[in-house]
Amino acid sequence: MSHRRRSVKARRKLKGAAATGSLLAAALIALTAAPASAATGIVSPSDGATFTGGSGVGIKAQVDGLLTSGKLMLRRPTEDSFTTVDRGSGTLSYQLPLTGSRAAPNGTYTVRLETGVLVLHGTQGKRTFTVRVPARQPTGLSAEARSPQEVRLQWNRGSEPDLVSYDVLTSDGQAVRTGLSAGRICGSSLCSTTVTAPAGSAGGTVGFTVRAHRSTAPGSSDTVASPRSQSATVNLPGQASPSPSVTASGVSPAPGASASSSAAGASPHPRLQPLSSTSSSPLGLPPIGGSQGNSGSQSFSAPLPELPSEGPGGGEASGPGGAPTSWTAVTGSAQWLKTVAVVLILLLVAAHMGGLRRRHRSRTIGQFRGHSGHAPAVAPASGGTAGGDAGNRRGTRSPKGMRSAMGAYRGRRRRP
């Protein structure tokens, strides 16, 4: 009897477990079917869309289900893997910035949505879109003239991460320099370069503008250009005019100036007065005297070069062929050179005469010593005594010895 009761209870438990399993299976089927509905998936952007402006790209996905969760993932053109930008259930969203210091680079982006129930996960959608935004218009352009042909430009650097180059143009769109690398001419906040103004701009006003370029994708040589910046004008200095040249006949006018205007507007160079013509030089040489009757003073004179005199009537002297001779700064300088040369010659002659006088005096003193009978002191020979040599030297060199020699010489001259 008891065995029969136990078997009835076991059958009832089996029926209850089967009913509970059926209910759980039905609930699980309902829950897993919810993510596959039209309400779950990526909402925006549309697949294959291209964005060329705006402040950003809105990415949105919808996840429905009681026990369902999702992850919104994004892969950038500079990355190889996906990054989770939002997760949870319901509405998932992310804003991709296209402007400012955090602007996204140009290129192709991929969006993916992953959902799961408990431990079951799966991909519910995948889309791609392209960002192709031009560079922002450069700001803060200024121009400064460095010479009649060179101008230095400076402007603010753009904040785009894929900025590659700049172009410099005139206000009317004429290219001055193109393809200037942003990495070479720009710092962290400013860009600057020196350009050559168009031909014929010296002395006038020239306007310049700047245009920026962004890459279309990492590693691509294609670029998208910005609008041109506001124009910056600069006044260029004029070219320096050639100065008039000085010739022997006067001042020649500058190229392009008429002879009449130069003669009327330019004052003539002052004439230099020539030196007066003299027949001899007032310089004299010192007298040369001696025992042989060369006493007295001698003078030396040399004719100075004759200067051109004025012609009859107080006019200028005529040169060869009747052409008038004009004394200007050039001939005045030549006359001074001639005068200096004559003075140098006189100094050389005076030095030569002084040398002759000194030689003559030396010969006279030598003859006087020869008549006195005293030979000059020589070095002592081998075997001689130091006392005798010293006595000879004292006899010839001491003042007393000289007086005795002079007395002997005078006595000999008095003898018949």
CA angle 315/321/324 to nearest 5° reads 25
The Cα 208–Cα 169 span in angstroms is: 6
The candidate with the shortest Cα–Cα distance to 98, out of 43, 136, 63, is 136
| The pLDDT of residue 208 is above 80 | yes
CA distances from 311 to 250, 273, 277, 316 (A): 20, 15, 15, 5
Does residue 163 have a pLDDT over 60? yes
Q: How far, in whole angstroms, is CA 34 from its chain's centroid?
A: 72
User: In whole numbers, what is the pLDDT of the chain averaged over residues?
Assistant: 74
Report the pLDDT value the prediction gives residue 51, as an integer from 0 to 100. 96
Q: Give the pTM.
A: 0.50
Q: How far is CA 399 from the centre of its chain?
A: 81
Q: What is the pLDDT of residue 295?
A: 44
% of the chain residues with pLDDT over 90: 40
- pLDDT-derived band at 159 (thresholds 50, 70, 90) equals very high
Domains in the chain (CATH in brackets) are 41-131 (2.60.40.10), 142-235 (2.60.40.10), 373-414 (no CATH)
Q: What average pLDDT does this structure show over 6-31?
A: 61
Check whether 302 has a pLDDT greater than 80.
no
pLDDT of residue 337: 87
Sign of CA dihedral 297, 303, 304, 310: positive
DSSP bridge partners of 112: 73, 126
pLDDT at 9: 65
Mean per-residue pLDDT for 175-203?
A: 94
pLDDT of residue 371 exceeding 60: no
209 versus 12: which is more confidently predicted? 209
Task: Report residue 169 as tokens.
Answer: 């143009």
Residue 85 has pLDDT above 50, yes or no: yes
What's the CA dihedral at 402, 405, 411, 413 to 10 degrees?
A: -100
> Can you tell me the distance from the alpha carbon of 96 to that of 54, in angstroms, rounded to the nearest whole number?
11
Highest mean pLDDT among 55-59, 97-101, 277-281, 377-381: 55-59
Longest dimension (CA), the chain: 206
* Residue with more model confidence, 126 or 389: 126
SS (H, E, C) 167-201: EEEECCCCEEEEEEEHHHHECCCEEEEEEECCCCC
Residues in the chain: 416
Please tell me the distance from the alpha carbon of residue 154 to that of residue 284, in angstroms, as a whole number: 76
Q: What is the pLDDT of residues 330-342, one digit of tens each?
A: 556 778 888 889 9
pLDDT at residue 260 greater than cutoff 50:
no
Q: Which residue has the higher pLDDT, 240 or 254?
A: 240
Tell me what pLDDT residue 37 has.
Answer: 47
Task: Report, as an integer, the average pLDDT of 203-222.
Answer: 94
* 153 touches 243 (CB < 8 A): no
pLDDT in the model for residue 71: 92
**Position of tokens 């697949």?**
47
How far is it, in rounded angstroms, from Cα 196 to Cα 148?
Answer: 9
Identify the residue whose tokens are 């014929």: 200
How many CB atoms within 10 Å of residue 415? 5
Average pLDDT over residues 273-285: 54
In this predicted model, which residue has the larger pLDDT, 290 or 78?
A: 78
Dist CA 227 CA 247 (whole Å): 59
Backbone angles phi, psi at 227, to 5 degrees: -65, 155
Rounded to an integer, the average pLDDT of 59-83 is 88
**pLDDT value at 108 more than 50:** yes
Q: What does 198-216 look like in DSSP terms, one character per residue? A: PTT-TTSEEEEEEEEEEES
Residues 310-322: pLDDT tens digits? Answer: 444 444 444 444 4
E-strand stretches of 276-351: none
Task: Check pLDDT > 60 for residue 247.
Answer: no
**356 versus 377: which is more confidently predicted?**
356
Q: Please tell me the predicted confidence (pLDDT) of residue 303.
A: 57
Q: Of 152 and 401, which is predicted with more confidence?
A: 152
